[in-house]
Structure 1
Amino acid sequence: MKLWEKGAFLSGGKLVESVPGKNPAECAKNTISYSILQRHNTSGDASKLKIKFDKITSHDITYVGIIQTARASGLEKFPIPYVLTNCHNSLCAVGGTINEDDHMFGLTCAQKYGGIYVPPHQAVIHQFAREMLAKCGDMILGSDSHTRYGALGTMAIGEGGGELAKQLLGKTYDVNMPGVIAVYLTGSPVPGVGPQDVALAIIKAVFANGYVKNKVMEFVGPGVANLSADFRIGIDVMTTETTCLSSIWSTDEKIREFYSIHGREGDYKELNPGADAYYDGAIELDLGEIRPMIALPFHPSCAYTIEEVNKNLMDVLEETEKRAKVSFGDKVNFTLKNKVIDGKLYVDQGVIAGCAGGGFENICAAADILKGKDTGNGKFLLNVYPASMPVYMELMKNGAFASLVDAGAIVKTAFCGPCFGAGDTPANGALSIRHSTRNFPNREGSKIQNGQLASVALMDARSIAATAANKGFLTAATDLADGEFSKKKYFFDKTIYEKRVYDSKGVAHPEVQIQFGPNIKDWPEMQPLSDDILLKVVSEIHDPVTTTDELIPSGETSSFRSNPLGLAEFTLSRKDPAYVGRAKAVRDRSEEVKAEVSRAEKILEEKYPEFKGRIEKAGLGSTIYAVKPGDGSAREQAASCQRVLGAAANIASDYATKRYRSNLINWGMIPFLYKQGESQNSVLLSEFSGENSRNLLPSGLPFANGDYIFVPGAKKMIAEKLPGVKAYAVRADGTTAEFDLATGDMTDDERKIIQAGCLINFYRG
């Protein structure tokens, strides 16, 4: 795999550095991405996009909060098709009635406002979108980070709920025109290599260096034609883990066939770059060089070939233990070396599931590998979740299920749970191999604070099946002697959905009463931004990256996603259990906090007389510091929970994704950036140098957990688009420090939202 250091032209079907007489800026307009984005841009400015999407999608741990936000802001009708799927809180067995209460809320809202409601176990959100919503040249916005339908010619973006609420209110998705990276494919995969193998190889190459961060990945080249639609989809959905903004692929007869199979051939259109298209960068990948991969804990980018792991097993596991130290410190003694038996790595569980693994071809390939074999009667077990009921039906008809069940696998219905810790939680100390999307810490359901720790490694369904056939010992699918696959043909039965899915056809029924459950709560009131703010630092995180799973855990907390106050009690519970108490003390102005504020006020006024009288009038809020927060899920709750607990800002060296930063803004929090002078994680802000930092602590920060930070003129900085502001820290020992904070670019509406206190306040006026 080769990453170009400079931009590239796609000319005559090949990547070249330059084309005589061709201007890169003009030729950048010839990409597929540019064409689709500008077609949906309403701003009139090709560099500052205001996007209106064709359709939007949510699932049952996001749609309640989104609709509640929109209702509080004046929602009357869904203006575009809005699909509400029920694939995350499908198991209505935890927390009493509250999961099914959410589902009834979703159904009645679909009826009242004119939406589409997909009942539990019918389909995971992205499979339904592929089967029923995708259309070449369209754009779809979803409240799940893996909203990716580029292989089908649909540019899709996963964002936090606030961005969907804007679409429901007829507003736009505002973003600068993103860079576009060509992913130039050649060759064909060898038998036994699947889409997850290709995806993990790409993620490994581009995640750490940020090569595609907030850009669009455009898949082109002769190798595209050598991949089936399902194979492309399996790569495409994992592009989220690269931190790109979105993806798009050139389309061909195989994609036409996909639409035809699903009864929607009219939604197909051939998409190709124009002549001499210019890209901001390029990734060259020979598919024939990819070998079965495994991403070891605790990130999809921690990827190796299975051959490499088996050859250098103890060294690779040592690297994994060192990474775990960064996430867990001394809280747990993490090891996988105890999984080595007779020089081989033993795994306890295999799962093929969700939007990445549950596709028709993945499961058929797994069934082919396991046909006539068995998984054994030891600890190892294999669970398989088809991504939709139509896929389930076809696997039942063509015999794939019979091969799987005969081998000892357990077949279940469409459910996203194994991907985020709400299903198939392994035993303490166990290792699970999964064809799913993520393997972050705690992702499979561990509770570190209770001494429970399991871990997930990502693999392709084919090698999971090969490992299952080898009774749990890590095995690459290419190692099997008989690499033959049946290549069964898929037949889609749309009547399955017609019998169960509620589709309003865009007709609203205002007379329908929304059905609420006792756990569904309104958002609490948020205060507007004051002229000056006083922040107490209530958590300090120095991990290189902090995931949204660590900011607000998934799994068992999902049942509280409809209850802002209830969910907030789980904020940072697996990373910093004391956070909630500290934040609430600031929000509620406890006696201890009052005394601390009085002390900080006195110290600052003595040193800076010009602040006399201002600090006592400043808005009081909490903040956290994290090096690079927000990798992973689009869930807005990673931000809204902080806001509910009284947060006014985040301070970071960088933000891992646009999604998380947008969520902070939509909930009225300032996304401060602090340039650490000596830190390798520093953000280079040329317009605001940060040279005023002084008296740094050993952490490289001028402040620490428990300190207070006064930010005079915070509102002026936001309103007048100033590059930054000087802040003043008061430490526990009474010393002070001055330093600079910036925010980076924000749109005019984003600045107004922060000043208003949150998105709801902004739209409600």
Structure 2
Amino acid sequence: MIKLFDNGAYLINGKELIESHTDVEKEIKQKYGIEAISKEEAAKNTIAYSILEAHNTSGNMDQLKIKFDAMASHDITYVGIIQTARASGLTEFPLPYVLTNCHNSLCAVGGTINEDDHMFGLSAAKKYGGIYVPAHQAVIHQYMREMMSGCGRMLLGSDSHTRYGALGTMAIGEGGGELAKQLLNKTYDINRPGVVAVYLTGKPQIGIGPQDVALSIIGEVFKNGYVKNKVMEFVGDGIKNLNVEYRNGIDVMTTETTCLSSIWATDEKVEEYLEMHGRKEAYKKLEPGQVTYYDGAIIVDLSKVKPMIAMPFHPSNTYTIEELNANLEDILAKVEKEAAASFASNKVTFTLRDKIENGKLLVQQAFIGGCAGGTYDNICDAADILRGHSIGSGEFALSIYPSSQPTFMSLVKNGAVADLMAAGATMRTAFCGPCFGAGDVPSNNGLSIRHATRNFPNREGSKPSDGQISGVALMDARSIAATALNGGILTAATEIDLNFTKPKYFFDKAIYDTRCYDGVGKADKDVELKFGPNITDWPKMSHLTDDLLIKVVAEIHDEVTTTDELIPSGETSSYRSNPLRLAEFTLSRRVPDYVGHAKEVQQAEVARLQGEDPTKVLDEVKVAFEQIKALPGYANIDPKATGIGSTIYANKPGDGSAREQAASCQKVLGGWANIAREYATKRYRSNLINWGMVPFTLDGDLPFTNGDYIFIPGIRAAVKDKVSEIKAYVLGDHMKEFTLTLKDLTDDERAIILAGCLINYYKA
């Protein structure tokens, strides 16, 4: 089903992959009559290289400085981005910037604050010249597919699932700081990424959907980091067997592999899609060169893909539904054991084996929607399965969220909505809430199956710190509908004898013309921004001092720590426009005492910045400086000139969402750094840097524990002078010296850390 090459690979004429080996150039010449071409030259024949080259402004293809064609944010990110850019001198959006309202669109938590954000967004679109998409019109990625994609373009979004590769568009999801840079006419700076071929061959069986293909790939490449921070380039003869909606469904899930971006070879089906959406001129054929070198290759035989399920609590925790049903007791016990270890500090119990009835797994809830599940084809196929049947009147419930109003309109006209409603499913408007815990939260200890993007802990909205826990398993819409047909008993779509009707899709742009504001090129500087009481400016942040004293206030040894754990989603998203209020939720569902400990240390830093002696504020800080003075050369260290704050340790933090608040909330609470074995994603590491936090890595045994103070002398000089190995000391009765590493920082990133944050950097 899935095969990974151990080495790089050459793609010949877009058709045949040859794994790299010593005499590969000779083999290519003998077999195809093609003269030898170096690996370096062949690597320039990827689709990704050509797009990156067209958008690079540095003149150096190894160190890229990218300018994007357009950007997008939703209503829990755009306020902070615009506020950051305003503080740094924004006068007008220099590129098309789409502000959608698909996350806090219910306006259900916190009184007026959600709609206040929306009014801020509309006023900003008018003042600075942007595009405003009102609530319930479209989820962010569906709007960008329909209205902003184009072959050879590059788009940037403040959401991790910013992926439009199936439409020939290289798209990247990043934290808000990177979007603020683009608004200030700066660049996205990154070393040229590796490119991995994803060679699709064969044709999916009836009943196999895009989520099945996506989960199959994720299960093979996430844990081994095969595509981490690389571009996944989809090629192969199997592409022609997939329509564009199917391709989109696979593509959006590439985020869960931790790749940087994705791109697909394009064909007449993409041309038809763009023409249907009124943008035929946005099409051009994209394909790799005659001889193309890739840094790796993934072969996917679509004909062998089976119905898949990703069990709690990660999209890579994959099984075939057939395998799960054949080994229910063992697999469910394994998931329970993993959950018990993860939630040990929360004192909650998550069980799955209690859901086995007569040897079958009974689920309590289902959801199809968002950027992954809410597409036209997914919902039409679900309607075909449920037409004339009932989901029953028991616990099991099914909700469906079409990804945009044009999608919803076409589903209404073709009768699919009526069929689904008659079967007992509830239809909702375009909304991302269930994907991040702000809607359709399951009951305590419930199990929900979802055609959505993620199933991280708490992602469905439960609160383990309050004794609540439920779980999500990811599945394709077709198997979800089959399960609904069976009253909630887990069922693969391939078990049903059915031919799908595949009704034609008709896109109606008039829906957007009626409700969306398009101010591109029409900035009106006289418009006043509309501020609600929850929209506040970022607090002032100090520059990096010569030396640092930091306290470890959270120590996390999970294999991976997600951004949802660093700053929970759900109702906390309503406070994203208020940095101080939001910071109160930092790590609340993973390390409940983090905020209190961080704020305690922060008292010393606040005193220092006010010109007071921090050693008089906190006794443990006084003790720490006494220990520092015992070190050779530091007898005269000045506490008033030394940055004092907190840090967290995690093995691999930052998987998942692009949300910059995972880092900024730590900074607001006095965080100076993160220490990790490695960072799960480039975007989380970038978020740390943009908020002036030092992204240390650490090899070997952990020399400190939670509650320890760490002294890092000469940190400012080390950052400035590009020193990669930095001496540090664990303070205590027996002081211990150890080494932190700080590598692969660009000159701009170093300058941002030295300035204390991106806002300070641009002000200077």
Fold shared per TM-score above 0.5: yes
Residue 638 in structure 1 maps to residue 638 in structure 2: no
Who is 2:198 aligned against? 183
Equivalence for 2:466: 450
Partner residue of 1:610 out of 633, 644, 653: 633
Deviation at residue 630 of structure 1 after TM alignment: 0.3
**Deviations 1:107-149, CA, capped at 9 Å, x for gaps:** 0000000000000000000000000000100000000000000
Q: Is structure 2 residue 15 aligned with structure 1 residue 9?
A: no
Q: Which of 101, 117, 121 is residue 132 of structure 2 equivalent to?
A: 117
Once residues 401 and 443 of structure 2 are traced to their aligned partners in structure 1, the CA distance between those partners, rounded to angstroms, is: 20
Once residues 416 and 589 of structure 2 are traced to their aligned partners in structure 1, the CA distance between those partners, rounded to angstroms, is 40
Cα displacement (A) at 1:619: 1.0
1:705 aligns with 2:706: yes
Structure 1 residue 298, shift from structure 2 partner: 0.2
Q: Distance in 1 between matches of 2:125 and 2:555?
A: 42
| Distance in 2 (alpha carbons) for counterparts of 1:115 and 1:600 | 51
Of the three residues 432, 446, 452, the one matched with 1:430 is: 446
User: Hey, what's the Cα distance between the residues in 2 that align with 1:592 and 1:62?
Assistant: 39
AA at the equivalent of 1:417: G
Note if contact 2:663-2:688 (Cα within 8 Å) is conserved in structure 1: yes
Partner secondary structure for residue 186 of structure 2:
coil
Give the alignment partner of residue 382 of structure 2, picking from 366, 384, 394.
Answer: 366
State the SS of the aligned residue for 1:78.
Answer: coil
Asked if 1:137 is matched to 2:160, the reply is no
1:583 corresponding residue in structure 2: 598
Looking at structure 2, the residues matched to 397 and 615 of structure 1 have their Cα atoms a distance apart, in angstroms, of: 73
Question: Where in structure 2 are the equivalents of 1:25-44 lying within 5 Å?
Answer: 25-44=40-59
* CA positional deviation for 1:93: 2.0
Q: Is the 8 A contact 2:615 2:621 kept in 1?
A: no
Aligned position for 1:407: 423
Q: Which amino acid aligns with 1:389?
A: Q
Mapping for residues 214-229 of structure 1, pairs under 5 Å: 214-229=229-244
CA contact (8 A) 2:367 2:448 kept: yes
Per the alignment, residue 720 of structure 1 pairs with: 721
Preserved CA contact (<8 Å) 2:664 2:688: yes
Match of 2:121 in 1: 106
| Partners of 1:182 and 1:592 in 2: CA distance | 59
Please, which of 588, 597, 603 is the counterpart of residue 621 of structure 2? 597
What is the distance in 2 between the residues matched to 1:206 and 1:615?
49
Match of 2:78 among 54, 63, 71: 63
Aligned residue in 2 for 1:752:
751
The Cα shift of 1:22 comes to: 1.9
Determine the structure 2 residue equivalent to 1:169: 184
Deviation at 1:322, TM superposition (A): 2.1
The secondary structure found in structure 1 opposite 2:675 is: strand
Question: How far is 1:592 from its partner?
Answer: 8.6
Q: How many Å separate the matches in 2 of 1:455 and 1:205?
A: 22
Counterpart amino acid of residue 739 in structure 2 = D
In structure 1, C-alpha distance between the alignment counterparts of 2:85 and 2:731, rounded to whole Å:
40
Instruction: Say yes or no: does 1:484 pair with 2:486.
Output: no
Contact conserved, 1:532 with 1:614, CA < 8 A, in 2? Answer: no
Contact 1:585–1:593 (8 Å) recurs in 2: no
Contact 1:63 1:106 in 2 (8 A): yes
Residue 386 (str. 1) matches residue 402 (str. 2): yes
* Residue 396 (str. 1) matches residue 397 (str. 2): no
Shift of 1:326: 3.1
State the alpha-carbon separation in 2 of the partners of residues 123 and 19 from structure 1.
49
Map of 1:77 onto structure 2: 92
Aligned pairs for 1:310-321 within 5 A: 310-321=325-336
What is residue 548 of structure 1 aligned with on the other side?
A: 563
User: Equivalents in 2 of 1:248, 1:505: separation in Å?
Assistant: 27
Question: 2: distance between equivalents of 1:323 and 1:215?
Answer: 29
| C-alpha deviation, 1:591, in angstroms | 7.7
Q: State the Cα distance separating 1:256 from its structure 2 match.
A: 0.7
Q: Does 1:536 align with 2:537?
A: no
Identity %: 66
**Residues 1:516 and 1:318: Cα distance change in structure 2 (over 3 Å):** same
Q: How big is each residue's C-alpha offset from its partner over 1:676-697, in whole Å with a ceiling of 9 and x where there is no partner?
A: 2xxxxxxxxxxxxxxxxxxxxx
In structure 2, how many angstroms separate the alpha carbons of the residues matched to 1:656 and 1:462? 31
For the 8 Å contact 1:521–1:564, the answer to whether it is kept is yes
What TM-score, normalized by structure 1, do the two folds share? Answer: 0.96
AA partner of residue 657 (structure 1): T
CA distance in 2, matches of 1:185, 1:405: 36
AA in 2 matched with 1:649: A
Q: Give the CA deviation at 1:350.
A: 0.6
Question: Aligned equivalents of 1:500 and 1:333: distance in 2?
Answer: 46
Choose from 295, 305, 309 the match for 1:294.
Answer: 309
Of the three residues 342, 352, 358, the one matched with 2:358 is 342
The alpha-carbon deviation at position 506 of structure 1 amounts to: 2.0
Q: Is the 8 A contact 2:435 2:460 kept in 1?
A: yes
Partners of 1:506 and 1:209 in 2: how far apart?
45
Deviates more, 1:701-710 or 1:48-57: 701-710
Q: Deviations over 1:18-67 (max 9, x none)?
A: 33322111100000000000110000101000000000000000000000
- Residue in structure 2 matching 1:656, options 667, 680, 687: 680
| Structure 2 counterpart SS, 1:437 | coil
Q: Is the 8 A contact 1:730 1:736 kept in 2?
A: yes
Contact map agreement 1:532 1:615 (CA 8 A) in 2: no
The 8 Å contact of residues 723 and 742 in structure 2, kept in 1 or not, is answered as no
Aligned-pair distance for 1:334?
A: 1.6
Residue 744 of structure 1 aligns with an amino acid whose one-letter code is K
* 1:153, distance to aligned residue in structure 2 (A): 0.1
- 2:214 and 2:39 mapped to 1: Cα distance? 29
Counterpart residue identity of residue 411, structure 1: M
* 1:682 match: none
Which structure 2 residue ranges, 5 or more long, are not aligned?
A: 27-35, 605-613
Q: Distance in 2 between matches of 1:171 and 1:248?
A: 24
Q: Does the 8 Å contact 2:73/2:159 carry over to 1? A: yes
SS of residue paired to 2:633 = helix
TM-fit CA distance, 1:483 = 2.2
**Distance in 1, Cα, partners of 2:520 & 2:542:** 39
Distance, in Å, in 2 between the alignment partners of 1:70 and 1:724 is 33
Q: Letter of the aligned partner of 1:16 in structure 2?
A: I
SS in 2 for 1:225: helix
Alpha-carbon distance, 1:615 to partner: 5.6
SS of equivalent residue, structure 2 residue 407: helix
- Could you say what secondary structure the match of 1:110 adopts? helix
1:276 Cα shift?
A: 0.4
Given that residues 442 and 470 in structure 2 are in contact (C-alpha distance below 8 angstroms), is that contact kept between their aligned partners in structure 1?
yes
Alignment coverage as a number of residue pairs: 738
Offset from partner CA, 1:347-384 (integer Å, 9 cap, x none): 00010010000000000000001011110000001000
8 A Cα contact 2:349 2:469, kept in partner: no
Matched, 1:469 2:485: yes
Residue 586 of structure 1 deviates from its aligned partner by 1.2
Q: Which residue of 1 aligns with 2:611?
A: none
Contact 1:586 1:593 in 2 (8 A): no
The question of 1:665 aligning with 2:689 is answered yes
Which residue of structure 2 aligns with residue 236 of structure 1?
Answer: 251
What letter corresponds to residue 513 of structure 2 in structure 1? E
Is residue 552–residue 705 contact of structure 2 (8 Å, CA) maintained in 1?
yes
Does 1:258 find its partner at 2:273?
A: yes
Contact in 2 for aligned 1:295/1:457 (Cα 8 Å): yes
Matches of residues 183-222 of structure 1 in structure 2 within 5 Å?
A: 183-222=198-237
Residues 533 and 710, structure 1, Cα contact 8 Å, conserved in 2 = yes
SS at match of 2:207: coil
2:25 maps to 19
Distance 1:22 1:592 in 2: 69
**Does 1:621 pair with 2:645?**
yes
Counterpart contact for 1:9–1:19, Cα < 8 Å = no
Unaligned runs of 5+ in 1: 677-699
2:699 alignment partner, one of 667, 675, 683:
675
Check the 8 A contact 2:629/2:637 in 1, yes or no.
Answer: no
